[in-house]
């Protein structure tokens, strides 16, 4: 069971942002997607999550076609993502930001919600507890009531992750999750990712940090100018001359 | 002493009535719907209630419910076009709606009494009813905003893309917010009708629209206390200073400019935010858990 | 008869054009809905009136109206909009802020005019009627048409043919990039607001002359009609606003002539609603009125 992109292309008028991309993200493994800036990595994620229309090709999850699925159908297909430019809700507290991630699980009737009936309140309590568990896991329990807009960068990234995890996805698309973090923080996230993968989650990791990617990923894809120029095990791919040429100017640290 | 208090009763009644309308406006803004339709929806409710009682002899409580229903249904109808619009376009469309209601109101003078309005509405609503309505309203606003609906509204308001990626249906939630807001406006419109003996179309025009917006903007758009503070301040100001009463629109205008530019979150919201930030920083400084640098954006 | 109405409508449309183009200039640049535009329009009418009442010639009143309205508009930009440019909630804030300005300006004129309706003295514009092809055109209508056309042409020349005009368009497209090439955005905005206000003021004088009903509330219906026009023409598009104004002017005149009175406004706004639904970008707009996120 995996997330598969088959010959996926994206054209904006005359510009080809993605060119016949083939990617497979298997469950239980961490797959990397790297490439220089502007290569089209976020475009791929946007197409998978339904924010951009696919010009050509097919995207499927476990055999089910999600090429033209709407954003909430994608959510129901158990895909979650984080955003490259952090998109937390600044007006709400950290806890509230996570709570919204549980939206998919909230099933109480609209009337119950409006009137504050016990069924709605019990559900809110339940997800409140689940949110607190996440907070503990990420070591941010003390920040539960903190307004999200005032968090440090690293914490905002973790908040995004907690929110994505709240929907209990089977596949996570992480768009530069450790940008701006120090080594301690990124190491603890690396552990988390490995833990998630071991529980059966399929992870697509977009990152610039080559060391991070090669440590975590069994298989990586390299994108340049919208095209896949290499794929395979990190040790092999990173020695590929074409890949090195794409990263002209040396490694990104 | 009781004389002074009783003297303030009409003002208190007015406060309760306008508070309800303010919440109607507040709710849609919380869901990210840029609607200004409350004035028009209140007119629909007021005239529905008034006509049902005066011309058709309905008992007031039934008319009240039907007025709320009318407001909700009209809102439902409006929400269909509104769902396809965003931002300023929603605002323009709802202003057009108010204007249409005003014109139709004046035109259908056989039904509504035209520019002279509807007269002879028996006064069946007093301070006690309004107080009960007010408490119920605040309770409902509280339960809604603390439920999955309120969370969805918050997400939609701040970032639609994020909301959608979490499975939140934007259309359904904004429509729901609009309908509730419409029903609320309808009910309070009828309450106003049953409280004031008479209705006139000019009551639900631009002065009204601006007043309601001012209540919400001045007090705060994101906390429940916001509308209470905003309505209270704006209704009390003319009482405290007579000259302010004569220049009411001027004062509202100046306040709008000042608040939007210097205190954009509104008085109540800003105070609450600052208090919360102080409390949290103090708490964090004491505990030695995660080292954070709190940056105020 | 129909042709006569169309002609009348065209003249009215020309004046609407002055109003709508000024409105659209601001929206095109900043996506701000300047609700004080109606108040500036009214200011133009009052300034011209008081100048003439004090004994000045009409042409002086006209010039004074244009200049003062322009300056007022710049003041509005500085007080109401400048701080908002950087804020995230700018569009909402702009609407409320300009609403506030409108209230202030209206109240001031209410006091000055003592809530009376004022009218230009009877022969401020001599009553001369030209007849041709079975149609009647008054001198006033000719003046309105000529003034509208001349002013619009001057503005078009300014925006599209001078270097300052290019700066305006540069800032419209991308404020940061324009700064990098040495354009001063504040000055550019101020100038744009001046033009916008001057246009509104000119429209105010012409309307004041045409309908002779100058009062502190006169801007309101025009603001509403202005909405309808710019939606029809397309928010942000100047040529669209021009075209839509003429269509609107004719449509409104016909509606008044042939529809039961009292329904005209309802009709106009229902039509606008329909346009918002069917083609929110209007005739020539380049904006997306609808869902921001969504498949592209």
- Per-residue pLDDT, averaged over B206-224, amounts to 92
Strands A202-206 and A30-34: what pairing?
parallel
**Do both A41 and A77 map to the same domain?**
yes
Residue-range domain boundaries for chain C: 27-220
**Do both A83 and A203 map to the same domain?**
yes
pLDDT at B30 over 90: yes
- A109 CB neighbour count, 10 Å cutoff: 11
pLDDT at A253 over 60: no
Estimate to the nearest angstrom the gap between the alpha carbon of B207 and the chain centroid: 14
To the nearest whole number, what is the mean pLDDT of chain B?
88
Please give, rounded to a whole number of angstroms, the shortest distance from the CA of A191 to a CA of chain C: 34
Burial state string for A67-89 with b = 16 or more CB within 10 A and e = fewer than 16? bebebbebbebbbbbbbeebbbb
Residue-range domain boundaries for chain B: 2-204
Q: What is the pLDDT of residues A171-189, one digit of tens each?
A: 999 998 888 788 888 888 8
**Do both A173 and A67 map to the same domain?**
yes
Q: Which of B86, B107, B249 sits opposite C290 (nearest CB)?
A: B86
In chain A, whose CA is at the least distance from the CA of C88? A90
Strands A171-175 and A79-81: what pairing?
parallel
Please give, rounded to a whole number of angstroms, the shortest distance from the CA of C292 to a CA of chain A: 11
**Is the distance from CB of C15 to CB of C226 less than 8 angstroms?**
no
Q: Which two tokens stand for residue B24?
A: 């109607």
pLDDT at C173 over 70: no
* pLDDT number for residue A250: 45
Please give, rounded to a whole number of angstroms, the shortest distance from the CA of B281 to a CA of chain A: 9
User: Confidence class of residue A226 from pLDDT cuts 50, 70 and 90?
Assistant: confident
Which range (A109-123, B8-22, B237-251, C235-249) has the least confidence? B237-251
Please give, rounded to a whole number of angstroms, the shortest distance from the CA of B285 to a CA of chain C: 31
Q: What is the pLDDT of residues A207-222, one digit of tens each?
A: 888 888 888 999 999 9
Specify the DSSP class assigned to residue A7. E
* pLDDT number for residue B70: 95
**Do both A133 and A203 map to the same domain?**
no
pLDDT at A104 over 70: yes
* pLDDT number for residue B287: 62
**Do both A81 and A114 map to the same domain?**
no
Q: What is the ipTM of this complex?
A: 0.85
Q: What is the pLDDT of residues C110-125, one digit of tens each?
A: 999 998 888 888 777 7
Cα B228 to Cα B235: distance, rounded to the nearest angstrom: 11
User: Confidence class of residue B296 from pLDDT cuts 50, 70 and 90?
Assistant: very low
3-state SS of A135-169 is HHHCCCHHHCCCEHHHCCHHHHHHHHHHHHHHCCC
Which of C91, C74, C93, C105 is CA-nearest to residue C192? C74
**Do both A203 and A230 map to the same domain?**
yes
**Do both A217 and A240 map to the same domain?**
yes
3-state SS of B112-170 is HCHHHCECCCCCCCCHHHHHHHHHHHHHHHHHHHCCHHHHHHHHHHHCHHHHHHCCCCH
Distance set, CA B133 to CA A3, A23, B130, B190 (Å): 53, 59, 5, 12
pLDDT at B35 over 90: yes
Kindly report the pTM of this predicted structure: 0.88
In a domain, A35, yes or no: yes
Q: What is the pLDDT of residues B77-116, one digit of tens each?
A: 999 888 888 888 888 889 889 988 988 888 888 787 778 8
**Do both A60 and A171 map to the same domain?**
yes
Q: Do B292 and A120 touch (CB under 8 A)?
A: no
- Per-residue pLDDT, averaged over A102-128, amounts to 88
**Is the distance from CB of C192 to CB of C25 less than 8 angstroms?**
yes
- Per-residue pLDDT, averaged over A125-151, amounts to 89
pLDDT at C292 over 60: no
Phi, psi (degrees; rounded to nearest 5) at C190: -60, -45
To the nearest whole number, what is the mean pLDDT of chain A?
87
* pLDDT number for residue B1: 66
Q: Do A53 and C293 touch (CB under 8 A)?
A: no
* pLDDT number for residue B181: 96
pLDDT at B215 over 50: yes
**Do both A84 and A7 map to the same domain?**
yes
Residues in a beta bridge with A23: A5
* pLDDT number for residue C108: 94
Cα C189 to Cα B220: distance, rounded to the nearest angstrom: 30
Q: What is the pLDDT of residues C210-238, one digit of tens each?
A: 888 899 988 888 888 888 888 888 776 77
Distance set, CA C6 to CA A230, C1, C248, C249, C251 (Å): 69, 9, 11, 9, 8
Residues in a beta bridge with A31: A204, A219
Residues A194, A198, A199, A200, CA torsion sign: positive
- Per-residue pLDDT, averaged over A84-109, amounts to 88
Which C positions 67-86 lie with beta carbon below 8 A of chain B? 79-80, 83-84
In a domain, A252, yes or no: no
In a domain, A155, yes or no: no
pLDDT above 70 coverage of chain C, percent:
93
To the nearest whole number, what is the mean pLDDT of chain C?
84
C chain contacts of residue A50, beta-carbon cutoff 8 Å: 295
Cα B29 to Cα B294: distance, rounded to the nearest angstrom: 28
Q: Do A152 and B147 touch (CB under 8 A)?
A: no
* pLDDT number for residue A128: 92
Cα C188 to Cα C194: distance, rounded to the nearest angstrom: 10
Q: What is the pLDDT of residues B134-185, one digit of tens each?
A: 999 999 999 999 999 999 999 999 998 889 888 888 999 999 999 999 999 9
What crossing angle do the helices spanning C2-30 and C185-211 adopt, rounded to 10°?
160
B chain contacts of residue C289, beta-carbon cutoff 8 Å: 85-86, 89
* pLDDT number for residue B192: 94
In chain B, whose CA is at the least distance from the CA of C266? B100
Q: Which two tokens stand for residue C204?
A: 């105010």
Burial class of residue A199 (count of CB atoms within 10 Å of its CB; 0-12, 13-18, 19+): exposed
In a domain, A19, yes or no: yes
Q: What is the pLDDT of residues C63-90, one digit of tens each?
A: 999 999 999 999 999 999 988 887 777 8
- Per-residue pLDDT, averaged over B35-56, amounts to 92
pLDDT above 90 coverage of chain C, percent:
27
Distance set, CA A233 to CA A2, A35, A123, A173, A181 (Å): 18, 15, 44, 19, 25
**Is the distance from CB of A188 to CB of A180 less than 8 angstroms?**
no
Query: How many domains, in total, are found in chain A?
Result: 2
For tokens 């200049």, the residue is C67
Q: Which two tokens stand for residue A214?
A: 């090669």
Estimate to the nearest angstrom the gap between the alpha carbon of B117 and the chain centroid: 23
B chain contacts of residue A75, beta-carbon cutoff 8 Å: 165-167
In chain B, whose CA is at the least distance from the CA of A85? B162
Q: Which domain holds residue A223?
A: 2-88+167-246
């Amino acid at each position: 069971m995996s997330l598969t992109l088959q010959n996926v292309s994206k054209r904006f008028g005359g510009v080809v942002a993605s060119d016949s991309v083939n990617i497979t993200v298997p469950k239980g493994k961490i797959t990397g997607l790297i490439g220089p800036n502007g290569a089209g990595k976020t475009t791929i994620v946007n197409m998978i999550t339904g924010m951009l229309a696919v010009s050509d090709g097919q995207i499927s999850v476990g055999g089910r076609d999600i090429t033209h699925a709407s954003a909430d159908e994608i959510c129901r297909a158990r895909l979650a993502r984080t955003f490259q430019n952090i998109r937390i809700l600044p007006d709400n507290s950290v806890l509230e930001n996570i709570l919204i991630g549980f939206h998919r699980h909230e099933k109480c009737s609209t009337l119950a919600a409006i009137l504050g009936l016990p069924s709605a309140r019990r559900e809110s309590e339940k997800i409140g507890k689940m949110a607190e568990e996440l907070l503990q896991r990420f070591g941010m329990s003390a920040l539960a009531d903190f307004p999200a807009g005032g968090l440090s960068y690293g914490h905002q990234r973790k908040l995004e992750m907690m929110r994505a995890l709240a929907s209990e996805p089977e596949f996570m698309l992480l768009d530069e999750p450790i940008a701006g973090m120090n080594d301690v923080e990124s190491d603890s996230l690396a552990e988390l990712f490995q833990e998630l993968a071991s529980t059966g989650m399929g992870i697509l990791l977009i990152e610039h940090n080559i060391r991070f990617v090669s440590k975590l990923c069994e298989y990586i894809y390299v994108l340049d100018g919208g095209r896949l120029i290499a794929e395979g095990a990190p040790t092999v791919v990173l020695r590929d001359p074409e890949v090195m040429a794409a990263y002209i100017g040396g490694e990104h640290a | 002493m009781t004389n002074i208090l009783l003297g303030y009763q009409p003002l208190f009644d007015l406060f309760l009535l306008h508070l309800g309308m303010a919440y109607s406006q507040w709710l849609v803004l919380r869901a990210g719907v840029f609607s200004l339709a409350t004035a028009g929806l209140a007119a629909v409710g007021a005239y529905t209630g008034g006509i049902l009682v005066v011309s058709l002899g309905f008992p007031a409580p039934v008319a009240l419910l039907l007025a709320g229903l009318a407001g909700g249904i009209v809102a439902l109808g409006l929400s269909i076009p509104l769902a396809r619009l965003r931002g300023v376009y929603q605002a323009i469309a709802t202003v057009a709606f108010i204007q249409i209601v005003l014109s139709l109101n004046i035109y259908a003078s056989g039904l509504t009494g035209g520019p002279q309005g509807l007269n002879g509405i028996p006064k069946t609503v007093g301070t006690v009813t309004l107080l009960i309505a007010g408490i119920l309203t605040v309770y409902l606003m509280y339960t809604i905003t603390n439920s999955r609906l309120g969370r969805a509204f918050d997400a939609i308001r701040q970032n639609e893309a994020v909301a959608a990626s979490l499975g939140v249906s934007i259309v359904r939630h904004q429509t729901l917010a609009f309908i509730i807001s419409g029903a609320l406006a309808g009910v309070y419109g009828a309450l106003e009708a049953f409280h004031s003996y008479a209705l006139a179309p000019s009551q639900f025009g631009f002065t009204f629209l601006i007043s309601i917006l001012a209540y919400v903007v001045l007090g705060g758009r994101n906390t429940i206390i916001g509308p209470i503070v905003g309505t209270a301040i704006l209704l009390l100001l003319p009482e405290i200073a007579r000259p302010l009463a004569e220049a009411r629109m001027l004062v509202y205008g100046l306040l709008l400019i000042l608040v939007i530019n210097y205190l954009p979150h509104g008085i109540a919201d800003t105070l609450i935010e600052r208090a919360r930030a102080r409390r949290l920083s103090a708490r964090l400084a004491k505990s030695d858990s995660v080292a954070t640098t709190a940056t105020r954006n | 008869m129909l042709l006569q109405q169309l002609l009348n409508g065209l003249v009215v449309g020309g004046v609407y054009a002055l109003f709508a183009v000024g409105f659209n200039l601001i929206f095109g640049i900043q996506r701000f809905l300047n609700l004080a535009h109606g108040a500036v329009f009214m200011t133009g009418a009052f300034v011209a009136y008081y100048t003439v009442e004090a004994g000045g010639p009409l042409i002086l009143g006209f010039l004074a109206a244009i200049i003062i309205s322009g300056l007022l508009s710049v003041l509005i930009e500085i007080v109401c909009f400048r701080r908002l440019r950087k804020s995230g909630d700018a569009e909402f804030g702009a609407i409320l802020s300009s609403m506030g300005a409108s209230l202030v300006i209206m109240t001031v004129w209410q006091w000055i005019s003592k809530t009376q309706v004022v009218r230009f003295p009877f022969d401020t514009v001599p009553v001369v009627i030209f007849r041709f092809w079975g149609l009647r055109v008054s001198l006033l209508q000719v003046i309105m048409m000529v003034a509208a056309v001349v002013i619009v042409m001057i503005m078009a020349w300014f925006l599209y043919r001078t270097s300052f005009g290019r700066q305006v368009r540069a800032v419209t497209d991308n404020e940061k990039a324009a700064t990098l090439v040495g354009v001063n955005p504040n000055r550019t905005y101020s100038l744009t607001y001046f033009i916008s206000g001057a246009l509104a003021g000119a429209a105010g004088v012409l309307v004041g002359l045409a309908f002779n009903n100058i009062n502190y509330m006169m801007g309101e219906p025009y603001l509403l009609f202005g909405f309808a026009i710019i939606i029809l023409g397309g928010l942000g598009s100047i040529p669209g606003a021009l075209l839509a104004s003429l269509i609107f002017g004719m449509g409104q005149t016909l509606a008044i002539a042939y529809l039961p009175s009292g329904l005209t406004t309802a009709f106009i706004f229902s039509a606008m609603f329909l346009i918002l639904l069917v083609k929110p970008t209007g005739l020539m707009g380049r904006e997306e009125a609808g869902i921001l996120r969504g498949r592209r």
